[in-house]
Amino acid sequence: VIAGDKMTNEQRYNFISKFGIGQATGLNLPGESEGVLHPSDSWDRRTRNTVLFGQGYTVNVMQLTNAVSVIANKGVKKSKGEATRVIDESVESQMLNAMESSAEHYNTFVKVDGYRMAAKSGTAEVAGANGQLTSIISDYSTIIPADNPRFVITVVLKDPQGSFGGLTAGPVTVEIGEFLMQKYEVPASSPRTDAIPVNW
Q: Give the model confidence (pLDDT) of 52-106 as tens digits.
A: 988 889 899 999 999 999 999 999 998 878 899 999 999 999 999 999 999 998 9
- Is a pLDDT exceeding 70 seen at residue 200? no
- Is a pLDDT exceeding 80 seen at residue 192? yes
How far apart CA 28 and CA 30 sit, in angstroms, is 6
Which of 105-134 are b and which e, b meaning 16 or more Cβ less than 10 Å from the residue's Cβ? Answer: ebeeebbbeebbbbbbbbbbeeeeeeeeee
Predicted confidence at residue 116, as pLDDT, reads: 98
Segment 72-85, tens digit of pLDDT:
999 999 887 889 99
CB count in 10 Å sphere of residue 14: 12
Largest CA distance in the chain: 51
Distances (CA, A) of 87 to 6, 14, 16, 71, 165: 17, 12, 11, 9, 26
Q: Which helix (H) or strand (E) holds 143?
A: strand 133-144
40 Cβ contact partners less than 8 Å away, ≥ 6 residues apart: 8, 9, 10, 12, 13, 48
Helix axis angle, 89-104 relative to 61-72, nearest 10°?
Answer: 110
Q: Do residues 52 and 16 touch, judged by C-beta distance below 8 A?
A: no
Q: Do residues 157 and 171 touch, judged by C-beta distance below 8 A?
A: no
For the chain, give the percent of residues with pLDDT over 90: 70
How far apart CA 161 and CA 116 sit, in angstroms, is 27
* Whole-prediction pTM: 0.91
163 Cβ contact partners less than 8 Å away, ≥ 6 residues apart: 123, 136, 138
Predicted confidence at residue 17, as pLDDT, reads: 94
Distances (CA, A) of 190 to 30, 112, 148, 193: 40, 14, 9, 9
Adjacent-strand bridge partners of 143: 118, 152
E strand residue ranges, 63-129: 76-79, 82-85, 118-127
